Amino acid sequence: MINILIPLAGKNTFKTNQANSFPKILNDVGGKLLVERAAESFVKLGFSKKLVVALPKEESEKYRLNKVLSLLSPDLELCNINGNTQGAVCSALLAIENLILDKPLIISSFDQVLDFDLNPYVQRFLDDGVDAGVLTFDAIHPKWSYVNFDENFNVFQAAEKTPISRHAVAGFYFFKSASSFIEAAKEMIRKDEKTNDLFFIAPVLNEIILKEGVVKAIPIDKNRYYHINDEHALENFEEAIVSEHRTSLQKVKTLTESYVAAFNSKDLDKLATFFAEDFVLTDPSVKVNGKNDVLEYIQGIFNSADSLTFKAENIIVSNECKSVIEFSLGINGSNLVGTDVIHWDNSGLMKVMDAYLYEKND
């Protein structure tokens, strides 16, 4: 079991303007709310988890966030906060009763999007048995939190809003247990370690380091990290999503065109590169399961055809994982027309193909 805590109590989180009467986390970005995209990497974590969002009761009710957030994941629960706090650490501590204290804790944010698979990073922190861990990216702007680490990625210093290195924290903190975070956070508060009159998460790492705890850093690709702190950052993120969507659509179309060319040339070896191992083919006469059986079935079609031409009259890409081929098929003097509906996986392999065809009457 892993605790995931999202302190969602910063004033900037709920800022609105004349153009938008809702906070930015409720902005629609490419068909999904920003908060959906922010939560996605945590919802997809392949660990037993408890996802806790701490947020102000007033904003929760005003913007119906209690309803919105509850739809993100069955693992999610809300911790309402009354009034303002003195920073993310204080907001996190108010959620103590929602945490399993002897289990690992991740603290992150919904003001950002970690657009990559978090599973290997969390697994690495668990396997290494670290007391704490952070994900970092290259930056020098003083708006970020920072850590300094040695050649083995052991962190020996952390700072808030002060570039002590080029290793900015990507808004992701791992702690060996919720109780160890609480102990270190309380010690930091006792020392009154504030930045801009607020208590932040990064300086908590220093308390762990002072007690000879092991804190590790793992660098990430900064191009997959989006911190949505203002309208400009939101616009840049929207542009990135639109651009990536277009690229994904073009990739699927290119794969589909290559499949058509391989089938038309009866290149079985090339066709094999398009199919996932559990590929399923369904056409009007048969349903074939598994890559090898599908290849054997297609080989039988090729062997029985003295002449074969497969031409795509039109290719439609409906989303990032689905394409439709409207085709004409000439085989042994018969002319057929039909449609192939293809479902692709994220690695660019066919998972399912449903084929529909009938003989063309001139």
Q: Considering the domain boundaries, does residue 241 fall inside one?
A: no
Residues 223 and 348 in one domain: no
Residue tagged 């204080």 (tokens): 90
pLDDT given for residue 29 in this prediction: 82
pLDDT value at 362 more than 60: no
Tell me the three state secondary structure of residue 104.
Answer: coil
Let me know if residue 101 belongs to a domain. yes
Contact 342, 352 (CB under 8 A): yes
Q: With beta carbons less than 8 A apart as the criterion, state whether 350 and 325 touch.
A: no
Give the DSSP letter of residue 22: S
Tokens of 145: 């939190």
Instruction: Tell whether 242 is covered by a domain.
Output: no
**pLDDT grade, residue 255 (50/70/90)?**
very high
Report the C-alpha gap between 47 and 27 in whole angstroms: 29
The phi, psi pair for 142, rounded to 5°, reads -75, 5
Evaluate whether residue 243 is within a structural domain: no
Residue 76: its H or E element: strand 76-81
What CA–CA distance (Å, rounded) separates 271 from 291? 10
Say if residue 24 is in the same domain as residue 122.
Answer: yes
The C-alpha angle 68, 72, 73, rounded to 5 degrees, equals 135
DSSP state of 267: -
Give me the pLDDT at residue 359, please.
66
CATH of the domain at 269: 3.10.450.50
SS3 sequence of 310-337: EEEEEEEEEECCEEEEEEEEEECCEEEE
- Give the span between the Cα atoms of 128 and 133, in whole angstroms: 10
For tokens 């380091």, the residue is 209
Residue 167 lies in a domain: yes
Q: What is the pLDDT of residues 157-173, one digit of tens each?
A: 999 999 999 999 999 99
User: Does 234 reside within a domain?
Assistant: no
**If pLDDT is split at 50, 70 and 90, which confidence band does 25 have?**
confident
Q: In 3D, which of 259, 312, 309 has the Cα closest to residue 281?
A: 259
Q: Which of 54, 90, 69, 206 is nearest to 145 (CA)?
A: 206
Question: For residue 26, what are the domain limits?
Answer: 2-229
Residue 313 CB coordination number (10 Å): 10
121 with 201, same domain: the answer is: yes
Whether residue 278 sits in one domain with residue 175: no
- Percentage of the chain exceeding pLDDT 90: 60
Contact 311, 264 (CB under 8 A): yes
Q: Are residues 81 and 152 in the same domain?
A: yes
pLDDT band at residue 326 under the 50/70/90 scheme: very high
Per-residue pLDDT at 184: 96
| Angle ∠(112,32,348) on CA atoms, nearest 5 | 90
- Residues 49, 182, single domain; the answer is yes
The mean per-residue pLDDT over the stretch 213-238 comes to 86
What total of structural domains would you count in the chain? 2
pLDDT of residue 28: 82
Regarding whether 6 and 62 lie in a shared domain, the answer is yes
User: Same domain for 217 and 266?
Assistant: no
Mean pLDDT for 181-194 is 94
Cβ(59)–Cβ(65) below 8 Å: yes
Q: Which pLDDT score, from 0 to 100, does residue 238 have?
A: 78
Distances (CA, A) of 114 to 228, 249, 350, 355: 11, 22, 27, 38
pLDDT for 257-295, tens place per residue? 999 999 999 999 999 999 999 999 998 888 999 999 999
Helices (H), the chain: 34-43, 57-62, 65-70, 88-93, 119-128, 178-190, 204-210, 231-264, 268-272, 291-304
Number of neighbouring beta carbons within 10 Å of residue 330: 15
Amino acid 248: pLDDT: 83
List alpha helices for 158-230, DSSP H. Answer: 178-190, 204-210
What was the pLDDT predicted at 63?
A: 85
Side chain identity, residue 216 = K
If one counts every other C-beta atom within 10 angstroms of the C-beta of residue 164, the result is 12
